[in-house]
Amino acid sequence: MTRLPDFRLETHFSRWEFTARHHLTASDAQTMTMGELLALADDGDREAFEHLALGYTETFGDPGLRAAIAADHREAGPEDVICFAGAEEALYLAMNVLLGPDDHAVVVTPNYQAAETVPLALCEVTGVALDPDRDWTLDLDLVRAALRPNTRVLSVNFPNNPTGKVIDAADFAALAQLCDERGIRLFSDEVYRGLERDRDRTLPQAADLSPSALSLNVTSKSLGLPGLRIGWIVCRDRELRSRLERAKHYTTICNSAPSEVLARIALKARSTILDRNRALLAANLPVFDAFFADFPELFDWRAPDGGCVAYPRYLGAEGVETFCTRLVQEAGVLLLPASIYHSELTPTPTDRFRIGLGRRDPEAGLAALADWLRTRR
């Protein structure tokens, strides 16, 4: 296995995430306190948490948590779920289980860096880029052209990080069918599912469309609970789930018992939490619309289809990298420049930046950004 490169996003966050005064690029929805989450628990789960024994847990995950995850699926059941310590562990182990040196993978760009760097460390990988000039459209003909006889995985992410793109349900179903016809695993990163602006555009989960597909999800993004560090993969292939469990024996072995009970509470209350987070995004979007309307000469802005992040274009003469660097150094406002989303697989825009929309009270950060911009006029 090739040595993995530095994780650009995490390296950048290590420097700035907890020192910048205004974190305007957060990828998760507003979180809640332990007390707020426990208030959503039923009597049984509240008692289970209070009397929890802090021993080892099942490698596949707490049975009650797996049932709560499966309750959101049409075709998959609790036995089709395996839990991990966040989505990153799940992605890493899945790619190592699915891919070998003689295999080939196709990955949609731009993406969360590990979506391409982990496969690239294992085998040949081809990228298919969303088209920024056509509202980040995914061209299915380009996907078909990228496939090879030894293609084993097609990796997608919708709502997309960082663009917020949601493709049409018919196109998503066509991807699942294409993978089934070619014997390819559809690996679908669905961590922002549930935060679509138009709820009618919510995509089905890949594991419900195909018995061989993998649906990746986590408590971190749409539910706004990254501190729990609970992710999962749903897949109806029993043999693959067994291989994933054996791979997990070499990493975390099992998850944190308190986190699994808290995640179980959150998943049972998912409708309440998602309603809250959708309402927060709906309230925030006009604030961001108004901000960008004040600076049309500097930004090309479009609200995302879904998720907690957007990827506007920066039009300033100095370029987006200098803009983001000076902004955090001089005004304490953190954004993610396009270099964080550079791809080894395809050309990616160099004039974009990621901004987060899911946190409460963004006005202070936007005001600091506006003041800094006005001083430079």
The 10s digit of each residue's pLDDT in 10-41 is 999 899 889 999 999 999 999 999 999 999 99
Q: What is the mean predicted confidence (pLDDT) over 151-161?
A: 98
295 DSSP assignment: -
From CA 16, how far away is CA 328, in angstroms rounded?
8
Domain with CATH 3.90.1150.10 in the chain: 8-33+271-372
Provide the total of helices (H) and of strands (E) in the chain, helices listed first.
14, 14
Measured CA to CA in angstroms, residue 318 lies from 41, 78, 104, 314, 315 at distances of 51, 52, 39, 10, 9
What local confidence, expressed as pLDDT, does residue 87 receive? 98
What's the pTM?
0.97
Residue 91 has pLDDT above 70, yes or no: yes
- Average pLDDT value for the chain: 97
Kind of pairing between the strands at 333-334 and 124-129: unpaired
53-270 — its CATH code?
3.40.640.10
Query: What pLDDT digit, counting tens, does each position of 173-217 carry?
Result: 999 999 999 999 999 999 999 999 999 999 999 999 999 999 999
Q: What is the phi-psi region of residue 110: left when phi exceeds 0, alpha when psi lies from -120 to 50, beta otherwise?
A: beta
- Determine the pLDDT at residue 2: 60
List every span in the chain annotated with CATH 3.40.640.10: 53-270
pLDDT score recorded for residue 267: 98
For residue 372, the SS3 value is helix
Q: How far is CA 345 from CA 17, 145, 203, 342, in A?
A: 28, 15, 26, 9
Tell whether the model's pLDDT for residue 290 goes beyond 60. yes
Q: Residue 135: its pLDDT value, please?
A: 96
Whether the Cβ atoms of residue 251 and residue 89 lie closer than 8 Å to each other? yes
At residue 3 the predicted structure's pLDDT band, cuts being 50, 70 and 90, is: confident
> Domain 8-33+271-372 is of which CATH architecture?
Alpha-Beta Complex (3.90)
Mean pLDDT across 119-141: 98
pLDDT digits (tens, 9 = 90+) for 218-268: 999 999 999 999 999 999 999 999 999 999 999 999 999 999 999 999 999
Q: Are 76 and 190 in contact (CB under 8 A)?
A: no
pLDDT one-digit tens code per residue, 293-347: 999 999 999 999 999 999 999 999 999 999 999 999 999 999 999 999 999 999 9
Within 189-345, residue ranges assigned H as helices are 206-209, 238-248, 257-268, 270-293, 320-331
Task: In whole angstroms, give the CA distance from residue 129 to residue 111.
Answer: 10
In this predicted structure, the answer to whether residue 1 has a pLDDT above a threshold of 60 is no
Strands 151-157 and 104-109: parallel
- 8 Å CB contact between 243 and 216: no
Instruction: Please say whether the beta carbons of 303 and 189 come within 8 A.
Output: no
